[in-house]
Structure 1
Amino acid sequence: MSETVSFGYEEVDPQEKTRRVGAVFSGVAARYDVMNDAMSGGMHRLWKDQFVRRVKPQPGEAILDMAGGTGDIAFRMAARGAEVTVADINQEMLDVGVERAMDRGIDGLVWSNQNAEALTYGPRMFDAYTIAFGIRNVTHIDKALAEAYRVLKYGGRFFCLEFSTTEWPGFKEVYDFYSHKLVPQLGKAIAGDADSYRYLIESIRRFPPMPEFERMIREAGFARTKVEPILGGLVAIHSGWKI
């Protein structure tokens, strides 16, 4: 039997998932950041601030921000003096990020169209690899983790910010109702696209639980792995080191 992978709650051919995910983000790129504010009540900004504090970007460090499209994480790290390469498989997302950088007068960033599963960079090029709210959309997560390990220098660090499953009693039920019933309607009202946001919520539900994803990070070769739940695990910061 041929391999299939999940696209939301549907099983599809891997190439089909890559195509469909690309179409999702092409469709929502222009309104992506507005929707993030609407869906999270602005909390995504606080999560990203906390994420970057954990990364601790240093002046002159080479950092690869994968799936960094619109620049939210890259702008924060560049403000601390890091030399950031923003990579994304979706050119429309990168175009939005470049425009935002120009509007803010931020230069010095490198913007690159990249597939997380097959990066064009040589081995041991970066001091840190970051990916925020992107790895669950990768077709083969294990391949993306292997590539992250490959392009990091020894002593380099991996940081991932991703939705997970909250363990707070009661909150999970409230969030499930909100995400499945209301988020697609927000997507329709703000971005004119309910289906894309329905997929994004489904992709969160299909993402591995925190302990399982930490195991995948270890299996990719990373040591000293750690998980930091936020809001009981609604969001989590995963990290590991290449030693």
Structure 2
Amino acid sequence: MDSVTDYLRQTVPKHKKWMAELESYAHEHQIPVMEPVSLHFLTQIVRMKKPKTILEIGTAIGYSALCMHNAYPTSKITTIEKNESMYQLALKNIKKQEKESKIDIIFGDALEEVNVLALNNIAFDIIFIDAAKGQYKRFFELVQPLLKKDGIIICDNILFRGYVVNDSTVNNKRLQNLAKKIRDFNEWLTRNEDYHTSIIPIGDGVSVSIKKNNI
């Protein structure tokens, strides 16, 4: 699989200068950002869907939000980040690209802020979840009322370095517990009768859930 991953990375178009700079910063400071192949897949979905609105759970430094905007510049993106240092970095990066009018960053816990969005009757074409992995089921359940009728929910890191397949190779109880939570989430998600879900084995694993027309 490593050779396949290397091959796929070679097929990804060369990143723009600002993308390469943000990616380099993230790697230097050990800040997780979406892997190139997964990111390319995400932005391809954005191009195909042509969303008016996107919700992102987990901003980090603003990398994926900026990439989604770049894929379809007319979309309005709302992104939520609870880590203050990440929030400040994302603000800086988004201002540097002059995208403040298109990307709205909310500082707070998504488990609380999503309820505020719901009270304001805001709905989204795409919801992208890339935050605390152990909370994925709660995030998914919480954002469902915000999803438009033909909307898509995308989750990153749902293969968790392959630990979801076999966590016995992990000599770390916390990682084992996290792998189990993600594995349980994947099972719950793929059996959820309200969505058509596919798990794509690229990067660290990406799930795509399309709301069925009867709900």
TM-score (norm 1): 0.60
1:144 aligns with 2:139: yes
User: Is the 1:158–1:241 contact (alpha carbons within 8 Å) kept by the matching residues of 2?
Assistant: yes
Structure 2 unpaired stretches of 5+: 1-21
Question: Residue 186 of structure 2 is aligned with which of 201, 204, 214?
Answer: 214
In structure 2, the partner of 1:48 is 39
Larger RCO of the pair (alpha carbons < 8 Å, separation 6+): 1
Which string of whole-angstrom CA distances, capped at 9 and with x for unpartnered residues, describes residues 97-138 of structure 1?
010112223332111124332311125611110023x14153
In structure 1, the partner of 2:150 is 155
Alignment of 1:88-167 (within 5 A): 88-107=81-100, 108-118=102-112, 119=114, 120-122=116-118, 125-132=123-130, 134-136=131-133, 138=135, 141-162=136-157, 163-166=159-162
User: Is the 1:226–1:238 contact (alpha carbons within 8 Å) kept by the matching residues of 2?
Assistant: yes
SS of 2:110's equivalent in the other structure is coil
Structure 1 unpaired stretches of 5+: 1-30, 181-198
User: Is the 1:128–1:152 contact (alpha carbons within 8 Å) kept by the matching residues of 2?
Assistant: yes
User: Is the 1:74–1:84 contact (alpha carbons within 8 Å) kept by the matching residues of 2?
Assistant: yes
Question: Residue 226 of structure 1 is aligned with which of 194, 198, 201?
Answer: 198
Question: Residue 60 of structure 2 is aligned with which of 60, 69, 93?
Answer: 69
CA shift, 1:43, in A, is: 7.9
CA shift, 1:149, in A, is: 1.1
SS of 1:68's equivalent in the other structure is coil
Mark the CA change 1:60 to 1:212 in structure 2 (over 3 Å): closer, same or farther. Answer: closer
Aligned residue type for 1:128 = I
User: Is the 1:64–1:86 contact (alpha carbons within 8 Å) kept by the matching residues of 2?
Assistant: yes
Aligned residue type for 2:148 = K
Percent of paired sites with the same residue = 13
Which string of whole-angstrom CA distances, capped at 9 and with x for unpartnered residues, describes residues 131-165 of structure 1?
23x14153xx3321111212111111000111524
What is the root-mean-square deviation in Å for CA atoms of aligned residues?
3.7
Q: How far apart are the structure 1 equivalents of 2:105 and 2:192?
A: 26
Mark the CA change 1:47 to 1:100 in structure 2 (over 3 Å): closer, same or farther. Answer: same
TM-score (norm 2): 0.66
User: Is the 1:62–1:84 contact (alpha carbons within 8 Å) kept by the matching residues of 2?
Assistant: yes
Q: How far apart are the structure 2 equivalents of 1:144 and 1:67?
A: 11
Q: How far apart are the structure 1 equivalents of 2:50 and 2:196?
A: 24
Which string of whole-angstrom CA distances, capped at 9 and with x for unpartnered residues, describes residues 28-70 of structure 1?
xxx9973536769x98234322332244465551000111231
Number of corresponding residues: 180
Question: Residue 25 of structure 2 is aligned with which of 34, 45, 50?
Answer: 34
